[in-house]
Structure 1
């Protein structure tokens, strides 16, 4: 009996193999890899979308195996993003591979008018990675995607280097993944924030040191370089933060090596709601306009505390007054209050009246001098 079962199972497997489809594998010389996607809005109502792709040419496909163009670009205007991508396939002689597309650049007009529709395509396409980084391009996404800095090499993609710690490490750069952008768009109590890429006219230089908050009400807020740096500090994402302190004629800059930020939301009955935030940092003095004494480190730490507290209160107050919440205060409130039926609605009533109580503890370990 067992012999008949084995024979029947073998026949079933053989018939199943006949029904399997091929894997559709294509050799590398038949592919072209899309590294970046740029999406802009046009003034043409019939073709409102403009898509720009930056594609890497495999070194074996370059004549002679060396030199030549490292990248090629394709742009197309269309009534839908899906159609634009399919038409662009007919502009190259190889299959477009989106598996290596690590950066998506959106034009400023997309952020202001049509972010939800654009996100719908990016999320639905299974060949676009959810771990792709997303940024805003100025003057347009096309200009940023087509920019080729002199430092860019065929094996070193400049746009991706700004986001990953393998390249640039800066407290002035906000890194946002595609999956995190989608979460922030649909999650109440948390607003999207994206880095702003600026390209020069010659398309040889990229600058990333500001960011933009894009809340659900399209009331976009641009953060300056210092505000972006402070946001990263409050999000516990700070990397090599500097704090510039100026008191009378004395000024010095503290390089923060470690930081930790905690906060809690307090809503006492019949009293003003308060967000208590504690910031702890350690660092050394890396620049000063005059000689500093190691015996006065506590005094310098106190001055750094006052500066950080002042800047933090200004930024948090701006978030509250502009009714934006990139730090997720509303999300924390929903997670810690279970007795209210509509928790987020209650938070929208509380947030405009909230008071911030910030405590900063800075520990300066050294004046940076060598005796």
Structure 2
């Protein structure tokens, strides 16, 4: 038995809803960052015609200025690429006091973009990846010049723009699995090159910038394209229908995971007890994980938290989980329980390297006691494992605060 919940709408959902209603919106997207920028590429903020704001690009440093620029773009329809940097001379000037630099592309999204938005929305509903490739910069001076095929020789260089570069700005190409691309960047060869590279970024789950010549040449420059990757969210599977599981499910959803709670006991495993979980499954834990692995619904981004406290459940489950390259496998229990588990798992044939991947007892040492405090400890360990963090206080470390993705 499986029960599912609906997610809270995000910036994309709001843009889609507004365009379906015939309303244009201004969309501001972080397309590049340097140093200690507060948000990664792909962070977005939407400004609607009624002044409503959804999302954020910097956590408050530049939003006021960006709001006014977005209102202007909403009126003029002309996209803008804006750079925000350190504000040294005037503490109240627009800038990033964190020391970072970021480029933000602001564009108007009209109801005419609805076919592409519909395709992305359908892919997201089906838990399939999708990508939107947008031209955020086009520079005629940056297009390489081929002396052997110059206009003076009677030919048109394939590297030179055949149209006003400004006409490329804001063009989009929408890519969804198994379907033909929607839209165009203004050149068939550029579409082909961008599609191939964007699908590579999408497979890695990353948004990012691509640069080409005007006809898709991978040498030189001319156009800058930003790929917004709508990758399927990583999964968090929480085994054990206990109060700690409810807290871990809440913080997992907050971190952006698609959360499943699984337990073999139907009386405890209900959607009412776990409202933050995307799905609640009544099944023996190791059988459920085996089914998900066989179906390809578990990958190297998947996080597994075993909170069952019962060797009948957790030993066969951990034996299976540790044999696969999951992002994180943690198990709750005392140190004595941990030692007993390791003995049983070793007898089941797991190697020392596989056993070393087990985070047990689960979580970082924060001194917490309550389910919520324990969930913070577990989440902190998962984040540290994902980004290579130390778990130490930032005040005790040197160097950049934000690690490269």
Mark yes or no: TM-score above 0.5.
Answer: no
Higher strand share: 1
What TM-score, normalized to structure 2?
A: 0.22
Larger radius of gyration: 1
